[in-house]
Amino acid sequence: MAEDHKSFMNIINNSPSCAERWAGLTEKAIADARAHGVTLEPDDCLNIREIRLAAMGAELDSEAYQNELLNLPQLSMAARKKAIQEGDSDIRAAALSDLNRWRENEHFSHRTAHAARRLSEARELGIATPAPAQDELSRNDRLEMLKEVKDPAERLALARKWNLIK
């Protein structure tokens, strides 16, 4: 639990009505995150200001709650990953930019560790490989082109590149 939530948790632990509201709101946030394909822990809910306020008796502002929920790192990563999988080139470019931010400030002795972390994050987002090139060649066109390639190794490499063989 973050240190800045210590006072809030003292209030929750000393008030049965607040504790009851907090439990219900935490369950709601966990269920809402699950609907987005993300698993939240109860401590993650402490980072949603709107449900902390609602637990202490304020009315829940649904729009503010949704914005805060979707901006949690776990959910924003899931949303970014989904957008990349759907082919959003702007989100993909922003993700690549974020991965490479501060790269020039890395100490040389930690460069390999940073590169491994960046590659891991890129794989998690689905951007470790370049976006598939859009071209109009059909499978039959590619097969016809392969007939004209004389070198067997080059022919095999092209067939693999074009996903004609595995």
Strand, coil or helix: what is 46?
Answer: helix
Short-list 115, 40, 25, CA closest to 76: 40
Average pLDDT over residues 97-107: 72
Strand, coil or helix: what is 90?
Answer: helix
Domain that holds residue 141: 135-166
What does the pLDDT look like over 81-92, one tens digit per residue? 777 778 878 878
pLDDT at 114 over 80: no
What does the pLDDT look like over 133-164, one tens digit per residue? 555 678 888 888 888 888 988 888 888 888 88
Distances (CA, A) of 90 to 58, 77, 83: 38, 15, 9
Binned at pLDDT 50, 70 and 90, residue 48 comes out as very high
Q: Token pair of 122, please?
A: 């890129």
147 & 121 share domain = no
Tell me whether residue 142 is in a domain. yes
Strand, coil or helix: what is 157?
Answer: helix
Percent of the chain with pLDDT over 90: 29
Tell me whether residue 82 is in a domain. no
Question: C-alpha 85: how far from its chain's center?
Answer: 11
12 & 58 share domain = yes
Average pLDDT over residues 120-133: 68
Short-list 63, 40, 68, CA closest to 52: 68
65 & 15 share domain = yes
In total, how many domains does the chain have?
3
